[in-house]
Amino acid sequence: MPHFTYTDLHTFTYNIFKKMGCPSHDAELAADVLLKADLRGVDSHGVARLVGYVRLWEKKRINVRPAIQIVHETPSTAVIDGDGGLGLLVAPFAMKVAMEKAHSAGTGWVSVRNSNHFGIAGYHAMMSLEKDMIGLAMTNASPLVAPTFATERMLGTNPIAVAIPADQQPPFVADFATTTAANGKLEMLQRKNEQAPLGWVQDMQGNASTNPHELSKGGALLPLGSDRDRGSHKGYCLGSIVDIFSAVFSGANYGPWVPPFVSFLPLSKDPVGEGIGHFLGAMRIDAFRPADEFKRNMDQWIARFRSATPVADQERVLIPGDPEREMESIRLKEGIPLLEPIVEDLTALAKRFDMSFIE
């Protein structure tokens, strides 16, 4: 598989956002957020999505000169209107507001409407770490997931990220879709022509299936837990909570009304809100406990869990964030691998803007 340096892909992505009309500092930040996904191994949310953002912009569903605004606030909360901007920019704006609120009130909680897809949730949650704050980020997304006992797609993969600082240990960073598996993993199986494990998807009648193409035939992704016996109603609860905090709090579209990321699908004719919604949170550690005490305890927590006895066929027990951090350090050194179809997409995208893709 061809590999590309972070710098080359970042520069290319920056240039594309500039060509779309983003101001330089916006193009820079949007490229940072997108490329962070590639670095951390979340290939489905990185530069592979750049073409998708461009197509939404071509359909005038993304505003590259948004006036992002606080429309309501209290000491610890705010609602932000993203003015149809890139979620890659709206979410960091909102996270900064959450952190300012946390600075003065102890915690800050921001619900966002009228936004678009925001890349990986982890990027936004991790913004809090250097300020000795815990960061939370969630977003709703276009409906691909059937609630327990349903055949209809009602929820997105609605991810949750939580970043918690430690002292000597690297931070605890959880970042996961509230489904059994993220849609990106399913797309990888489609490309490789492999079957999915049972519990990832159901067919259009709601039967368990291992066919990774089930979504194109009216099937659905399954909530974390897979089926009722194994707790899928809990994954359904989690996805619903993300949807409500992100969209009912803010006045964005929710549930089956959330607009699609793919530009060839039409927008709903009876929207219940504006754009998609996010929810960002920041909690100042020393609003609870002196930060050094907390971080020493986190070091102990992490060290103890990392030293838990592993099962026979595994070397070790992982801490949330370990795999992504290790991937980031490898890819910074060895480059970011891109599948051939992605390289072709990006080459065509370059041509569309009279540029060339990385030589």
Give, as ranges, the residues between 101 and 130 that touch a copy of itself (CB under 8 A): 104-107, 109, 111
| Residue that the structure tokens 């838990």 belong to | 308
Amino acid at 104: S
Tally of residues, the chain = 359
Count CB atoms within 10 A of the CB of residue 281: 28
Query: Residue 130 or residue 229: which is nearer to a copy of itself going by CB?
Result: 229
The answer to whether 124 and 91 have CB atoms below 8 angstroms apart is: yes
Phi and psi dihedrals of 345, rounded to 5?
-55, -45
Count CB atoms within 10 A of the CB of residue 205: 9
**Smallest separation (angstroms) from a copy of itself to the CB of 44:** 16
Q: Which of 184, 206, 335, 337 binds a copy of itself (CB under 8 A)?
A: 206
Query: Residue 15 or residue 211: which is nearer to a copy of itself going by CB?
Result: 211
Footprint (CB under 8 A) of a copy of itself, residues 134-193? 146-152, 154, 162, 164, 172, 174, 176-181
Q: Which of 191, 289, 351, 352 binds a copy of itself (CB under 8 A)?
A: 289
- The contacts of residue 186 (CB under 8 Å, 6+ apart) are 196, 200, 201, 212, 215, 221
* CA–centroid distance for 62 within its chain: 18
Query: Residue 318 or residue 348: which is nearer to a copy of itself going by CB?
Result: 318
Which range touches a copy of itself (CB under 8 A), out of 11-19, 20-28, 194-202, 341-349? 194-202
Footprint (CB under 8 A) of a copy of itself, residues 228-287? 229-231, 233-238, 240-241, 243-244, 248-251, 254-256, 272-273, 283-285, 287
Helix (H) or strand (E) holding 97: helix 87-105
Query: Residue 28 or residue 322: which is nearer to a copy of itself going by CB?
Result: 322
The answer to whether 52 and 43 have CB atoms below 8 angstroms apart is: no
**Smallest separation (angstroms) from a copy of itself to the CB of 226:** 5
Q: Which of 25, 308, 354, 359 binds a copy of itself (CB under 8 A)?
A: 308
